[in-house]
């Protein structure tokens, strides 16, 4: 499945959230990640985030799509992490 994850966490926990999310998804820009992920890995990602975050203070929103086929992506301004770039 294709997933977009966005978080708003306390400054003290940003580095922890970033580290966990980068293990599973591609960093797009500040607090935003996207990519293909299996249901099992998504479950692990959510479990790891719950362990690192304060769910009474922090927020994570996860959008899941069965396919990326019918989606489009438009960027206004600076693209922080070009996922189409190859070295």
Q: Is the pTM of this model over 0.85?
A: no
What residues contact 15, with CB distance under 8 A and at least 6 apart?
none
Q: Is the pLDDT of residue 78 over 90?
A: no
Q: Residue 83's pLDDT is what? A: 64
Instruction: Say whether 58 counts as a known binding-site residue.
Output: no
Q: Residue 68's pLDDT is what? A: 74
Tell me how far apart the terminal alpha carbons of the chain are, to the nearest angstrom. 26
Best CA proximity match to 62, nearest among 20, 2, 18:
2
Q: Is the pLDDT of residue 85 over 80?
A: no
Instruction: Tell me whether strands 59-65 and 32-36 are parallel, antiparallel or unpaired.
Output: unpaired
| Order of strands, sheet of 59-65, starting from the edge strand that comes earlier in the sequence | 26-29, 32-36, 2-8, 59-65
Residue indicated by tokens 């293909």: 36
């Amino acid at each position: 499945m294709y997933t977009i994850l966005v978080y708003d966490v306390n400054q003290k926990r940003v580095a922890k959230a970033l580290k966990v999310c980068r293990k599973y998804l591609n960093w797009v820009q500040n607090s935003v990640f996207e990519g293909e992920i299996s249901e099992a890995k998504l479950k692990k990602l959510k479990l790891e985030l719950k362990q690192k975050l304060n769910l009474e203070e922090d927020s994570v929103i996860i959008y899941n799509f069965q396919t990326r086929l019918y989606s489009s992506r438009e960027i206004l301004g600076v693209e922080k992490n070009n996922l189409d770039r190859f070295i």
